[in-house]
Amino acid sequence: MRVVMMGTGTFAEPTLEALLIRPGQVAGLVTQPDRAIGAQRGSTRQVGRGMKEIAQAAGVPVFQPDSINTAEGVAKLRGWRPDLLVVAAYGQILSKDVLGAARLGGINVHASLLPKYRGAAPVAWAIYHGEKKTGVTIIRMTTGLDAGEMLAQEAIDIFPEETAGELEARLAPQGAKLTLEVLDRMQAGTVAGIPQDKSQATKAPKLKKRDGLIDWSKPAEQVCRQIRAMQPWPTAYTFFRRFGRPAQRVIINLATATQAADSRSATPGQLAGSGHLVVYAGQGAVEVRELQPAGKNRMSGEEFLRGHILKAGDHFGPET
């Protein structure tokens, strides 16, 4: 079976590598255009070896259009004469013409237990909403957003302190394994799709920078989930507010929910500096274990306190 792989980032890389083990199976790779370093930092997609580099090392032709949904893009795909498109974290919704360029259409490797978390950032939103499990679903692609029939699905536990980046790295090889299983079943003619229950569908929209702004009035557990969910991008952040001084942006890298004396009477965002950097939340408190003030290196909460003698009124919160 001739396949064209379409994908970007570390979630897609194991699937491409698995397909390349079978000689002559991958007719081509479609991946996002090369980005400048600054633009790469503005993406939720982690980069490992690089899809382009993996394909070129194997002698597989690479196509990097700004949009695949053009006459040129469709013609390029048809020229490769694929039986199937294999899509993983490609970053574009595919048109009917693109899907029709392959004899069997396309399958998508999606990092959630569909129908939950349809969209561009399923791993982050699963952590944000406190899910205990997630997984990978292989679907037959349609023009609807992650709405096709399910061909395979497998669940894993989400670890208590796992970030979105760490969880995605664990899901990636699972996606590769399921993809090969589905391809084998397709070749044997034994693939039967299961329709998704639309009533259970939830959305996982693309992350924006503002999704990282911490609202300290939320419960401490929710704040900690947000911090984990926003890594590697856009990262969770707040502002250090001191009387008579400009607000200083601070990235929060690592934190845990904790108990703190008088948390019920404290104002959300209020800092407690009793050896550890503790921030009061709407319910409970958050111990900040690692943070990065603007223009500074990462540091522990204790190091932050040594450099900032707290005064009454000092707090974390929005910029204004």
- Alpha carbons within 13 angstroms on the beta-carbon side of residue 212 total 22
Q: What is the pLDDT of residue 259?
A: 83
Look up the pTM and report it: 0.94
What's 269's domain CATH number? 3.10.25.10
Q: In DSSP terms, which residues pair with 107 in a beta bridge?
A: 86, 140
Same domain, 192 and 226: no
Place of tokens 């409970």: 284
Same domain, 189 and 245: no
Interval 219-249: pLDDT, tens: 999 999 999 999 999 999 999 999 989 999 9
Same domain, 218 and 189: no
Cα–Cα distance, 19 to 40 (Å, whole number) = 26
Q: What is the pLDDT of residue 36?
A: 64
Q: What is the pLDDT of residue 191?
A: 87
Query: Can you list the residues of the chain whose pLDDT is less than 70?
Result: 36-47, 261-264, 273
* Residue type present at position 196: Q
Supply the mean pLDDT for the chain: 93
Q: What is the pLDDT of residue 43?
A: 45
Same domain, 157 and 32: yes
Same domain, 14 and 152: yes
Interval 178-200: pLDDT, tens: 999 999 999 998 888 999 999 99
Q: Total structural domains in the chain?
A: 2
Domain containing residue 105: 3-200
Same domain, 313 and 235: yes
What's 59's domain CATH number? 3.40.50.170
Strand arrangement, sheet containing 3-7: 62-63, 26-30, 3-7, 84-88, 106-110, 133-140, 150-157
Same domain, 149 and 218: no
Q: In DSSP terms, which residues pair with 142 in a beta bridge?
A: none
Same domain, 186 and 245: no
Domain-terminating residue out of 146, 168, 200: 200
Same domain, 187 and 269: no
Percent of the chain whose predicted confidence (pLDDT) is above 90: 86
Same domain, 84 and 225: no
Same domain, 147 and 253: no
